[in-house]
Amino acid sequence: MSLVTEYHRHGNNPFGILGKWGRHDDGEQNVLALNVLLLGGRQSGRSSVGNALIGGEEFKTGTCISGVSMTTEHQLLRRNFPRYFRRKGAESDLTLRVLDTPPSFPRPKSVHELCPEGAHVLVLVVRADMHDNTHLEEHVETLFGPEWRRHALLVITHADHLKEAGLQPSDYLMQTTDWLRALAAKVEGGVLFVENSCDWPSVRGQPIRDRLLNLSARNHHSALTVRTEVSL
C-alpha cells in the first residue's frame, strides 16, 4: 500500500481528486478513487476512524488540553489498496482520500475549497458515551442538502461501554437519545460499532472500508457537492 500525507489549512489552494475510475500509468490496472469525509464532535474518535480506513497511524489522535481537541486543521491522507476488489471480472485498486475535519464544524465554503468535486462517502462519528453533538445532522444537511443520508454511514466508537452496561448494539440504539436514534435510522450506510482498544483501527479497518465501498457502489460512485450558497 502506498501512503501520501497532505495537510491543508483553511484558505489554502484546493486539492484535486482523481476521477472516479482511472488506470495506473501502465494502463493495466483499474483504480477507483473515493473521497471520504469524516465528521464528528470533539473527542468522538474521528482520527482513529481515519487511521482504521487508511490502515495506519498517521492521523493525530488523543491529544487534548483541558478536554479541548487539538485537531484544529483539516488533515488529508491518501492510501492506495492494490487489487482490493473485482469489477466486471477485473481486479481493481481502491484509492481512499480521507479528510478529517476539525470538531468545530466547517463552513460550506471551507469544505468546498478543500473538496471541490465533492465527497463520495460521509462517515459520521459519534462516541457511545458522549451525546453532546446534537446538531450533527443539521450541519451535514446544511453542507450537502437532503441527499446526504444516501451517502452516509454512522460509526459509534467506544462501544466497549456497551459491554460494560450489558447492552447489545440493538438495545443501545433503542435506549439512546432521540437525536442519535433518529440519525441511525436515516443513514443508508448503516451503523458500525467499534471498541476503544489500542489495536482496533488495524482490526476494524477492512470492515469499515468494505462498508463504505458498498455504499458508494449503491450510489454508482457519485459524489455529493457542497452547497456553497448557504452558511452556518
Confidence of residue 109 (pLDDT cuts 50, 70, 90): confident
Q: State the average pLDDT over residues 82-87.
A: 89
Give me the residues paired with residue 7 across strands: 75
Q: How far apart are CA 214 and CA 34, in angstroms?
A: 12
What is the 3 state secondary structure string of 22-89?
EECCCCCCEEEEEEEEEEECCCCCHHHHHHHHHCCCCCCCCCEECCEECCCCEEEEEEEEEEEEEECC
**What is residue 148's DSSP assignment?**
G
Q: How far apart are CA 134 and CA 181, in angstroms?
A: 11
* pTM, 2 dp: 0.82
Percent of the chain with pLDDT over 90: 34
Q: How far apart are CA 193 and CA 204, in angstroms?
A: 10
Q: State the average pLDDT over residues 85-89.
A: 85
The C-alpha cell of 123 is what? 462517515
